[in-house]
Each structure stands twice: as structure tokens, then as C-alpha cells.
Structure 1
């Protein structure tokens, strides 16, 4: 459902206004050895997050920044909203007063108490490592959709996003950004570390793994499989509606309404293999080597089909 997301727009607007008054080296802070943007995350919020009581019917999306979480988040939110629309009173659906910023780690310290009072099903997104999530998520067996994307396109998309989003440090050149990406100086940490840590949960029955690329190849099948994983029962016609509304073109056209000023930055190209426009031969070799060393032989590494999507 392509409704305006007032909370999302308000939080992002305030963060961008605050960031515009700060120097580049003030934009990030470190927590447990990982960098986060100061205007959207805080130490107090991370501590308060532990008070969240996860539920077995929570719909959780985990993905590293620029892996496609806003796109897949739209699919999840639409699946839940479509299901609720036919099972609840219309007036109770999409109540703005119940809306929270969808990313778990972004908000104020009172967010988690409010979330504990929200009706099911709650749709939650996160860029966090599994060890930095509230323990109740695993204890209460909440289901997690883990979204992956080939590392070269993640880096490419992150570069453009950083230069278009004032809450993150910008980079004068792609070469400067590539060094930061490969030396673990990114907000939310190293992507290779992210993959390695989540790989420990790859066989968990409550974790479903999907790649950005396979969803691009067959969105209809991906939407159907996601709905089945979360136990969201919809008709073929209802599923097709979700598929159509989650096309990149549809989301880009509605981005100003759904995501405010950030819409044009979030929905830039939405393609595969854009990395070929930026990577030079040396950078290709360095990332290929890092992939081999950190993730190639793992379940998630094989799921990424690196040879298909990341070889020139």
C-alpha cells in the first residue's frame, strides 16, 4: 500500500537538518566497534533497544545498508497491510498514531515501550548484526528475512547514497569511498563481517535468505515465497497486486509521497551490475580477494552467486 509514511519523512527530515550543521568528522559515532550515524542512532537508543519484547509473529527484515531493504520492506509492509485489510476493520488499518520508524535502531529511547504496545503483526527492518539485536528476537523465535546483495553493487549504491544523504560522510571520489568500504570504516560496519556473522544463522529454521538479484529476476515468485515463509495467506490476485506495487518504477514514482526528500536518493537506479561503471581492475581484484577470504565457501557466499554477478 503506497501510503505516505509521515513518521519516516519526519525522522529523516530532522536528521538531515541536524546533519547540515555538523562537520564531516562529527557525523559518526562508534558503538561496540562499529560506526553509526549520530543524527539517527544513539548510545541511549541502543541500550533501550534491549527492552523490546519480540513476538513470534513479528515480520523482521535484516539487510546491510543498500542491499535493497527499502524495496523489500515495501513488499513486506504491503503483504501485511493487504492481509490486515481483509481481516480487520478498515478504520484500524494503517493508523498513523501507531506508526514507528521502521528501522529498529533508529528512533528515541521511548520507541521500544511504544512498540511493545503495538498490535501484531509488527513489521521491523534492521541493518544490525545478529549479536546487536535484542535477545528476545531469537529467544521468542521471531522470523527473519535476511536480504543479501552482491558486494560490488552494495558498495556502488552506498557510494551514491553517502553523497546524497547529509547524515552520512560524503566522498570526493569513488576511490576514497572504496578504501573506506574495504577498511571497515562504513556506517553499520563491514559488509563482509556482516555476511560472516549472519552466516552463523543461515541454517536457522526461522531465517529465510533471499538475494536482491533473485528477486529482480522473478519478483512474483519471491513475493509468493516471502508470504509463505511469514504465514501470510493471500489470494493470487492479492499477491499480484503486491508484485505490481513493488516494481521499481512504481516505487520511484511514489517516492516523494512515501519517503519525502529522501525518495530520490533511495530509489536511484534499482538495477544489477551498476558496479561496472565504477570499479577499476585493481579494485575488482581487491574485492574478489576479500570475498574469497571472508565468505566464498560459506552458505551465504554461495547464495550470492559471486561468479555470476561480480566477475567482469
Structure 2
């Protein structure tokens, strides 16, 4: 049982003192048809019944689609461009991960959020159908970031190699097939991006594209700023752009996950922030993989007006 006065700082301290052997590559279990890590599935009731607050801001993505980038952008905006405030804690403390669950003594995302003062920045990788209803009941502002499937697959593969709590990704060839069938943590990329796309007009959801953010960061940050009801000068916007560019974030210990122990995220295998590029998939997809991927992609995306760019 977690202590009732748990704070985000407690979480950071616990992570840095986890006992050897507490973490391992957790198997996946289905939750309403979506594969999630065993500990999330076992504590699903707490996630499902999570009570959002009206001023919560939900940042939703499929894994490795620009989550940390958007978290840093939103935190910068909510701090009115006073970037020193972003240094108060690492990303996973400033913007807790709603559904994450681990073995005790590590607190769950729900535990942390319940002890986080408002306004809260909430991170999730859940597909729309699994997001707690309380977010929609309270009409919470939600920002969704989508990334083209090929780059997303490459980035997720390298992440699953270094993330010691998710199933071993196997070879790149095996991973491509599993990505297409959705047999990886958080399930199908197709279901995820389409589900959120269909939800965007029914709820207060700003749907963003990773490729647009890379093409013109200032333009896209301005969209987020307006969505959150803020109005900054061009000078402040420029500061936020500089603070949240890939190089700056990769060198920022409050954003690059270097504060998380290697037994969880082994950055000797691959950096958490690896390349942050568009069209990196061209360096990994073979001709046959690309052909197979394109065929499945065309089939799965048929009937939706959701469009992605695989190059800019």
C-alpha cells in the first residue's frame, strides 16, 4: 500500500533507489483487447476509475511519437515562458504517466497524480477507447501527437531495446511484423491514430502531427499556445522554440531521462532521445519490408481522411 501523502518528488527518490531485480521485461496482457504491461493490466481498475480535474491537460500519444517533446512545450507554455521553472524536476515528475504501474515500492501513475497539485499535466499512451471517462466528463483539454507509422516503428524498436520493462523487441524484421499486427505494448498504431482522429471533433482535442512540428516548430507551438488560452510575444515563442529543439532537449537532464536508472532505461544500448528526425525509416526498412508495410498500411487506413507524411 502506497503512503497517502506521496508526492512527485517521492517518486523521483524511489526510482533512484529501486532494489536490484525489481524490474524485468514484463509480459503483455490484454485490457479490452489492447496489450499492456502486466502490472498495468493488474491495476487497471484504478486507471479506469481515475478522477480527472477540469483544469487537467492531457498529453496523449502512441509511444515514441513526440511525447516528451510535447510535454516540454506544454510545460513551457503553462509556465508562461519562464523556462527556469521547467528545471524544477524531470519530465516524468512534472508530467506524470497516468497508466504506468510497477511493482512496489514504486508508486503508480494514479498514485502520483492524486498527489499532484492542479493544474496537472497528464501523460498517456492509451488509445482513445481506454482513456478514463472523467477526462471527457470534465471537458479536459487534450493534445494528441501523431507520427508517421514508419518513423514511429523505428523509434519504438530502439526504445524497446533500451526499455528494460517492455518485452524484448527481437530482430528488426520481427518487430516490423509485430508493429503491423499491433502485438506490442499499447497495441495497434493504426487503431490508436484513427481512434483519436475520430474523437477530435467530439471533444476538446488538438490533433498535432510530428512532421508538422519538425517542419515549422514555431508555427505548431503557436497552435498549442492558443489552444491553451495563452498569448505570448514573438520573443517568448522564440525562447520556447529554442528550449524545446531536439539538441537542447537531448542535452537537458530534466528532459532526456538521464535521471532514470539504467536498470529501467539502458541508455548504453540506445539514447532515450535518439535522432528526432523525419524519414529516418529509410535507413532501416528493406525493400521487401517497405512493400509489405505499404500494403498493410493501405488496407488499414482505407476509409479514413487521416493523412501522414513520411518525408518533409
TM class by shorter chain equals 0.7 to 0.9
Q: TM-score, normalising length from structure 2?
A: 0.80
Counterparts of 1:256-267 in structure 2 under 5 Å?
259=257, 260=259, 261=262, 262=265, 265-267=271-273
Given that 2:11 and 2:107 are in contact with CA atoms closer than 8 Å, whether structure 1 keeps it comes out as: no
- 1:199/1:298 contact within 8 Å kept: no
Q: Identify if the C-alpha distance between structure 1 residues 256 and 82 changes in structure 2 by more than 3 Å, giving closer, same or farther.
A: closer
Alignment root-mean-square deviation, CA: 3.3
Q: What does 1:118-137 correspond to in 2, within 5 Å?
A: 118-137=116-135
Unpaired runs of 5+ in structure 1?
none
Shift, 1:77, TM fit: 1.6
Give the Å deviation of 1:271. Answer: 0.6
Q: Secondary structure at the match of 1:146?
A: strand
Contact 2:217–2:241 under 8 Å retained in 1? yes
CA contact (8 A) 1:195 1:295 kept: no
Match of 2:5 in 1: none
* Whole-angstrom distance in 2 between the partners of 1:201 and 1:277: 33
8 Å CA contact retained: 1:51, 1:113:
no
Q: Closer, same or farther in 2 for the Cα pair 1:148/1:12, shift >3 Å? A: farther
2:36 matched to which residue of 1? Answer: 36
In structure 2, relative to structure 1, the CA distance for the partners of 1:81 and 1:156 (3 Å cut) is same
- Give the alignment partner of residue 298 of structure 2, picking from 279, 292, 298: 292
Please say if 1:233 is aligned against 2:240.
no
Give the one of 99, 114, 121 matched to 1:105: 99
Comparing 151-160 with 166-175, which one deviates more in the overlay?
A: 166-175
Distance in 2 between the 1:15 and 1:155 partners?
Answer: 32
Gaps of 5+ in 2: 1-7
**Equivalent pairs, count:** 291
Q: Give 1 or 2: higher helix fraction.
A: 1
2:66 is matched with which residue? 68
The 10-residue stretch of structure 1 (273-282 or 207-216) with the greater mean CA deviation from structure 2: 273-282
